[in-house]
Structure 1
Amino acid sequence: MDSEVTVITNPIVNVRLTSTISSFESKEDLIELCHLLQLGVSASCMDLELFSVTDQFLQKLDDNEALLGSFAVDDDCRIHVIDRSGGQLGEFTDVSKVEKFELPDDAYDKRTDSVRSFMKKQRVGRHNEGEVAKKKAEVAAREEEEKAAAEAISVGSRCQVQVNGQPTKVALWAKLVRGSHI
């Protein structure tokens, strides 16, 4: 009887990666995972836990001599990295800790190598007076049409109310007065 065991697995396994110092979840293959784990936190300061596809804890990945294939890692499992170095959740996503470069508007207007300068030269967006005036006229015309349509409906008439993401409702038309609630 042969005592040799053969395990057949995919050469590449995709896993989800989470961490105690980041609220982001990423999906990586194992080669990318190795690179990610080497960045930021030293291997001696991290604990790894393996979770199933349904996010049930399976085991700690704490045998440094074992190959990853010796653990029950399947596609879409989650490996959670616990940082013991003292890093805080959100430490790398808190932009309030980043020194910012700020330039007053008048100084920025004087620059010729800026996006604003380019947009002015190309007459794009708010820098195209004709297009801005045209859009304002379209908005005013649409508001006028809506106002005229609303005034043509008498109070007490039935109307359909449509709100995105909700079913259409039939309601009685009521004149709304600013500040009043129905």
Structure 2
Amino acid sequence: MEQYIIDSGTDFVKLNISNSKNDRVAIETKFAKSLNVAELKKKLEVITGGNANTMEIELYNGNNLICKINDNATIIGSLPIVSGMRLHVIDSFVLIEPEAVEKFELSEDQYEKKTDTVRNFLKQNRLGKYNEDELREKEKRQKEQEKLERDRIESCKIGLRCQVQVKGNPTRIGTIRYNGSIEGKKGTFIGVEYDEPLGKNNGSINGKRYFQCKENYGGFVAPISVEVGDFPPDDINLDDEI
């Protein structure tokens, strides 16, 4: 019988996970050695979609079966287990022929009351969409972004000087010439006549004119990219450059 040295130098072990439901393998999933098998099964529920109450686990080194893991109280760090080995999860539900059992469906209320589901696991551990703090923070950031955009739209009055900053483009100075919608596009856009020919048009898009300026002096940007202020014209005139 082969002997395997248990690595006691770390509190975690990285294992590959395969399962009887499909051919997918989760590579190098990290587990704490302090977990017992029952806790390990709960984590494997999320990875494999299996059921902790019915799953069986086999430990492999390559294609060689090392042992079957059946005792839920066993601490995984006490097993002959090292990083790089593979846990194969067998879910007894998928091994039963479909025609051998009577098909049934749970109502939403019945499923909600069950305690051995992935949904309940996510709820208990406040993961994913059940992480209320994360959802609140996301909603807060979204509301702040929406308020900032509304404030920018209000501040972008026709004729005011502004600075435009769009990622991947140089900072541009100009005068606001348009504030409103653009045919065929969603949202509000700010039309700017730049001081230098750093734009993309002459105030028109797809043949429709929104304001008048020289070619390449006009541009339309999102309100969030526009800052209104006292921005004097640059001294450099690109039209005069050789």
TM-score range with shorter-chain normalisation?
0.3 to 0.5
Q: Which structure shows the higher strand fraction?
A: 2
| Structure of greater relative contact order (alpha carbons < 8 Å, 6+ residues apart) | 1
Give TM-score scaled by structure 2 length: 0.31
